[in-house]
Structure 1
């Protein structure tokens, strides 16, 4: 009988050797063209103007991204549960199969309600959109 740790070790070795060999080959084949623009803050060639502290980013984008990640993970966790749901009912009963998932979804709904109440899912309206809305009403 072959030891299963040999396969795990071989997989780990391949997982290390392939990326390292790709980086070595890339370092050997790529051209080396030193430029001052490569060391700039923005590699796109844009010349930075002003202080980086003066730029204001809307935190709303980050809040929506975090909410997306949370609910995306929820989908990933619910999908396998739906696949085994029928056999879980047969093996452990309806209540023991359903209650943990309802609790999980309930916690997520409470989190969504909290985020909604605190304005995490409300977009900041532009002055132009507000003007158009008031013009259409009058």
Structure 2
């Protein structure tokens, strides 16, 4: 690797086809054509192993908290479903009790949201077909 490709022990990318060094060009002129490539590397903040481990631990903690909240939500959802089934079974018992006590043709049965038995359309008789 030539002196133009290394800067204080840090590796640089090799030049592309359009950036090949001509015989009369100096390394400084080549760097200026790379739109400040070497200057940008000096502005990057330092990254340490401790920072990486801290970021990873924070990510793991956030994922663990998310999984715990999802488990809590699933438990609450299961409890709500059980309460809905219990309420539904209770209301079916109420409707059966009202039907037994007052009958299916009563106003009390209709107040529960059911249709009175007398409001159903009675089936019409089919007239017999004439025999030839």
Tell whether the structures are fold-level matches, with TM greater than 0.5: no
TM-score range, shorter chain: under 0.3
- Relative to its length, the structure with more helix (as a share) is 1
Which of 1 and 2 has greater Rg?
Answer: 2
Give the TM-score, by structure 2 length. 0.27
